[in-house]
Amino acid sequence: MDTMTDARRQAGLELQALAQEFEASDEAAFHRTRILCWAVLAIAALIEMLLLIGGGDWRYLLASWIAIAGLTWFGYAVSTSRQRRQTARLRELALRWLGVDPPVV
């Protein structure tokens, strides 16, 4: 093999290793973020319960709890989808450098 093909293959392998490393760190970060989302939701639920016991209107409290839950999980969904798209692009780049056709999704 010529040196250009070897260098291209080496770069592809490094990109592939980098993509795998990013996927592993992303999954760990996603796990921590999911735990944080559940914690925020639990704290919001406790505050809402205290306000409800204190005589708050249940409709307003339910609406605020839904807003907090929705915004929390929406932020998580946007963040994870963006990270997964970026990692997928890196993996596709690695496959192109390795000369392998990327899988059709």
Residue 90: pLDDT over 80: yes
Q: Would you say 48 and 61 are in contact if contact means Cβ atoms under 8 Å apart?
A: yes
Output the six-digit token pair for 21.
Answer: 């490393």
Q: Is the dihedral of CA 58, 63, 68, 70 positive or negative?
A: positive
Q: Would you say 19 and 87 are in contact if contact means Cβ atoms under 8 Å apart?
A: yes
| pTM reported for the whole predicted model | 0.64
Show the CA angle centred on residue 92, arms to residues 81 and 15, nearest 5°: 100
pLDDT tens digits for 28-86? 888 888 899 899 999 999 998 898 888 888 888 889 889 999 999 998 898 888 888 88
pLDDT tens digits for 5-23? 888 888 888 888 888 888 8
- In whole angstroms, give the CA distance from residue 11 to residue 6: 9
